[in-house]
Structures are given as structure tokens and as C-alpha cells.
Chain A
């Protein structure tokens, strides 16, 4: 089983996790910029974090043969703090980087006017930088938050196939399935989704535009729940190719739209995916 985890916060994980992930087949991942347990209070805290996402963390991942990419954004919770919003003018510098494959996580936390403004402004950055966008759907008031996020996406002019709505569940997936946006599911020990529930959703809605992630972070979470979901798919009668599609090819297709995915160092047989030059730029 080869796995591309499209959403995992490796900054919060140990080298033991990298070892276990690599041994279980995780070859590549995307680390979205998000909030930490402790609220930030200034721009410097963000830029040091972003520097780590394009500097130290990819270096750390490479020690274990794992290819690291990231997404960059001001997250919705901290969009409510004027001291944090000062990071917005700095974002374009980071959106130009090789390892940055989307704008994210953007979206809603408490659905405030400040969140509206920052969400829309950052989708405009995705349009300008020709990048996909990773939209976090809120933990509270999720159904309304998902509907509202879809409206903001539709108004942004960003093509729906360049957008993923993440942390979906049984209640919110029907609203997204017909929009053309990608659907992300975070498999978490207690909350969000479990492997058996994920399998049921895949049976009901199919494998198109489906992304499965561990979203492992500083909370109680497990970076191997992508693997467990693949195993649950096989046990439920899905084929090896189905598992490969959901856990490897789908994330490559989605983030490949950035034209910046670089999997060449993994020494895998496929040099391109679906005609997309996902490999490192060549002269």
C-alpha cells in the first residue's frame, strides 16, 4: 500500500511517527498551515512557522524517505485577531515557494465577518497564484458552515475542481458531492470520521474526488489511520486499485494542479500522472 496523506500536521509529530509512517507505506504528505494549541499573537510567529514548513520540516521528513509539501494561509480562528491579520501581506512570498501546493487551511471557525473577509481574500490569492485551496469546515455548526463555505467558493471564481472541503462527514457530504469540489475526510480516533464510517461513505458516494487524511496534529490523533482505512476498504471488498486510487492517486491529482508536486526523489516508476508534469521542473 502506498499512501499520500493529503493533510497531516507533522510539526506536532515525533520522529517515531515518521518512522512508523514510512514503514507503513506513507511516501508523501501535505502539511497545511493551521493554528497551534496556543494562540499566536504576531506576524513573526507565523513567518517562523511558515519557514519551518518550507525549510526544517521537509528536511526532517526527507531523513525518513518521506516527501513533504505544505499549504500556506492565515487560518480562520486567528483571522479574528487583528495582530494575526497582519500576516496577510506576507503570504504571497510563501505562495511562490516550490513546496507550497495550495492555499490553506482557509474557511470558517466561528463564521464572523472577519473570517468572511479573510476567507475571500485568500481564495483570491489562490486564483492569483494558480493554486488549489484547502477549505477547513468548522467543528461547530458544521452543516451551515459547509453551505456558507460553498457559497464563498462559488463567488471566488476559483474552479470547483481546485477546491477541497475538508473534515466532511455523513451530514455534510451531500451538500458538496454535486458541486465539483473535492471532498476531504479526516480519520480521527474519536471525533470526525472512523475507518468503517469512511468505507460506508465511499460505498455510497464512490471514489471520485475523495481524499482521506489522518489530520494528525497536537491533539489525540493517529498518523496511521490512513493505512487503517485502506485496510478497512480491502476488508469491505474494495480492490487494491481502489485503495491506491483513494490513498495515492487522488491526492496526487488534486495537489498536482499546483504543478509543484515533486515526487521524483521517491524513485517511483510513474514519471508523470495523467499527463500532468508533477515532477520537478525541467529545463
Chain B
């Protein structure tokens, strides 16, 4: 993935210099990560639906950190803590590709507690594989509730189970009682599960 990001991101002298600087001076990432959008733009990346150039640049900066394991997780947690919404989203997107194992799953829980659709969506990418089943189901249900397209959920069909089907059915019944419907993609998922 990191190689893919490197290959599809337009070459940018600021990013090249910043990646090199983070590799030798990791503390510099505290001011470089927030500045990435101003230097690399915020243009959608056609090869990666939902990703923008600033997301990719930020993930490359994170990947350049010369840290591993607990030390890397601690730095990433701090960057997320003080990140604006775009930085938080980039951190969530980068997690599956950084050498932190399951150490940063608390950040996914944090994002799922927000009411910001961008963060909830980013939380349910591949790193959500580290969530336990109950938290993952609640995340999927929250997407349905907030009308976030279920296409953002990684491994949706592989992981969706009878318990999730029950929750979706209950939500659909509740909406129906109120004269409202659940989104079409949720109805389709419910049909696949039942």
C-alpha cells in the first residue's frame, strides 16, 4: 500500500523533503502532518476511491517515522490526539499499513464515538479487523444510521453475521414504524444475510 501511494501521488518537492526529514527527525512530524494539505493539495485520487492527495501524503509521512511497536503507537496516538479532522482521518487510513499491530485500536473506538461521518467511515477500513465483533457490528450499524455508504466497510460480507442481521432488521422495523426506511445498501445487506 505504501508503495502504491508513492507511485500514484504526483511528485512533490515538499513531500520528498518532509519524508526525509521525518525519517531523521521524527519530532518534525508534529508540524509537517498538519501542513500536508497546504502543500500537496486535497485532490481526489482516482485509483483509490475516497482518498485524496493530502491523505496519501500524510500516510507517507507516518510511514517515514523511524519508530516501531510501542514507540510508534505512542507517536501516532499523540498525532491523532492533536490532529484536526483531516489528520485524524489520515491516521485512521494509515493504521493498517503501519507497524503497530493492534496497539492503536483505541483510536478506532474514539473515531466511532464521534458524529463526524468522515471519521466513522475511515474507522471501518481494514484496521477495523482488530475490533471485537460487538464493536464492529455497532460500527456498521452506526454507518447505516448515519447514511454512510456501506462500501466504506472493509470485509463487510465476510464478517457480517446473524447478530448484525438481527440488529439491522430491528432498525428497519423501527424506521418502518416511523414511516422511514433504511438506506438501500443496508436493505441489500439484510437480504444477503437472511
Contact = CB atoms under 8 A, between A and B. Distances in A.
Interface of A: 47, 51, 54-56, 58-59, 90, 92-94, 96-99, 259-260, 280-283
A59 B85 CA distance: 9
Contacts of A55: 84-85, 88, 116
B50 to A, nearest CB: 16
B167 interface: no
B39 A283 contact: yes
Which of B42, B88, B115 gathers the greatest number of chain A CB atoms within 10 Å? B42
A202 B91 CA distance: 48
Contacts of B84: 51, 54-55, 97-99
B169 interface: no
16 contacts: A55-B84, A59-B116, A59-B117, A90-B82, A93-B82, A96-B30, A96-B31, A98-B37, A98-B84, A98-B86, A281-B37, A281-B38, A281-B41, A283-B10, A283-B43, A283-B53
B146 to A, nearest CB: 12
A54 B84 CA distance: 5
A281 B116 CA distance: 23
Given A54-B85, A55-B85, A55-B88, A96 B34 contact: yes
B36 to A, nearest CB: 9
Contacts of B35: 96
A282 B15 CA distance: 12
A65 to B, nearest CB: 16
Given A56-B114, A59-B116, A98-B84, 12 more contacts: A54-B85, A56-B85, A56-B116, A59-B117, A90-B82, A92-B31, A93-B30, A94-B82, A98-B86, A281-B41, A283-B40, A283-B41
Contacts of B38: 98, 259-260, 280-281
Nearest to B12: A283
Interface in B20-42: 30-31, 34-35, 37-42
B118 A59 contact: yes
Contacts of B88: 55
Interface of B: 10, 12, 30-31, 34-35, 37-43, 53, 82, 84-86, 88, 114-118
Nearest to B84: A54
Contacts of A90: 82
A59 B31 CA distance: 22
Contact of B115 (A56, A94, A260): A56
Nearest 3 Cβ contacts at the A-B interface: A281-B38, A54-B84, A96-B34
A2 to B, nearest CB: 23
Contacts of A259: 38
A86 to B, nearest CB: 15
A283 to B, nearest CB: 5
B87 to A, nearest CB: 8
A282 B30 CA distance: 21
A47 B82 CA distance: 8
Contact of B34 (A51, A97, A280, A282): A97
A57 to B, nearest CB: 10
Contacts of B114: 56
Contacts of B39: 281, 283
Contacts of B117: 59
Contacts of B85: 54-56, 58-59
